[in-house]
Structure formats: C-alpha cells, structure tokens
Chain A
Amino acid sequence: DGGITQSPKYLFRKEGQNVTLSCEQNLNHDAMYWYRQDPGQGLRLIYYSQIVNDFQKGDIAEGYSVSREKKESFPLTVTSAQKNPTAFYLCASSIGFGYKWDSHYEQYFGPGTRLTVT
C-alpha cells in the first residue's frame, strides 16, 4: 500500500534534548511538508521541500531543522531552541509543483506524531 508513515506515534523527551521525527513516503511524491498543530488550533507550516536537497522555511521554522537527502524521506528535528515543542506534528506530501497552468495537487497526510516535552 502506498502512503506516508510517521514514527513513533507518541514521543516523550526531556527539555533541552533534540529529537528527530521520522517521515517516509512511498508515493513517489516530489513535495513534502511538516506542520505543527496545537490543541484546538489549525495547522501551521514549519518547513516544506519541493524536491530532493531543497527545502524552504514555513511560517514557524525557528527551533526546527530538516533535511531532504532522499526523495522518500523528510525528517524533522525539534531542537532545544524550540521554546514550546509539545504539539502534534504532521507530515504530508504531494505530487509536486508543476509548470502547467492547470496543475494543482492535493496533500496526503501521515498519521502524525504527538510529542511531549517535560
């Protein structure tokens, strides 16, 4: 089955530690995204990547880092510089940007990782 996997589902860390969240997709999608969701709130974009070895900051990139060394993988590191890291983290992918005027792509989301930092 094609899809996006995120692991683990729940993650607990001590304050001051860096932690890396995994995101893998086998959909052969070019674009991948990381979002953060706080209770009762919408999704906020952290980073996105249009293609391998390229990524762009989203609206709340401070305290986070990413890499895109392989097409199928887009790990997110939550660093100790992130002031309030406890949240639900969602990874998504889409076919990718296109150059045709009528090319518009939907995002496919993973199941999410709930990170708790104490």
Chain B
Amino acid sequence: LAKTTQPISMDSYEGQEVNITCSHNNIATNDYITWYQQFPSQGPRFIIQGYKTKVTNEVASLFIPADRKSSTLSLPRVSLSDTAVYYCLVGDPRLDTGRRALTFGSGTRLQVQP
C-alpha cells in the first residue's frame, strides 16, 4: 500500500485559503487519492476524491500533478467550523479479491483562528 506523509498540524485564520499537501511517492497505477475530514468524537466525512489533474466540488479542490506523487487539498476561505483533522488516503477503494481497504494515517490537524 502507498504510504502517505502529511503535516501533523497547520494554523490559519478565518477567510484565508488553506492548502494541505500530501506526499505519496509510491502511489500505484490503480490508486485514487481520497480526503476525509474528522471533527472530535465524530466519524470522518468524505470530502473529495481524484485520480489526476484537478477535481473541484462545493467544499474543496484537489490538485494532483502529472507524476501523482503528491496531492494538495485546497479549502477556500476557511471558517472556524473548518477546524478539524484532515486525512489523505491513497489506494484502490475497491475491495476486489486480494485488495485491502484504504488506510487512514494520523492526518493533519487544522486549527482556524478568528
């Protein structure tokens, strides 16, 4: 399974754009990149998923360079409610025979200040 590396923590202020980068040097051809958000004492929530280039939805954008060895989650104009832990996962979410489920690392703890 591809190992991911992301910063342990980040600080930001309300209204700023936050970019969280995840490194995954040994990503495999079939792997997708998925980001989750987790608030304290709650289960994680899916944010965005992508394979290459750029993906955008109503809450975030995901930038993936051509070599796919890293990815960047971009949160536009964060608010206090975006304070959470963000997990970068790399793998094939399909559970065909022989494949493993996605692995959550320790994530990036984002603290948004007023």
Contact = CB atoms under 8 A, between A and B. Distances in A.
Contacts of B103: 45, 59
Contacts, number: 61
B57 to A, nearest CB: 12
Interface string B72-114: 0000000000000001000011111001011111110000000
Contact of B101 (A42, A48, A103, A112): A48
Contacts of A31: 95
A43 B43 CA distance: 10
B84 to A, nearest CB: 13
Which bracket fits the contact residues of B?
Answer: 20 to 34
A42 B106 contact: yes
Which bracket fits the contact residues of A?
Answer: 20 to 34
A33 B93 CA distance: 12
B52 to A, nearest CB: 12
Contact of B46 (A59, A103, A106): A106
Interface of A: 31, 33, 35, 41-45, 48, 50, 58-59, 88, 90, 92, 94, 96-99, 103-112, 114
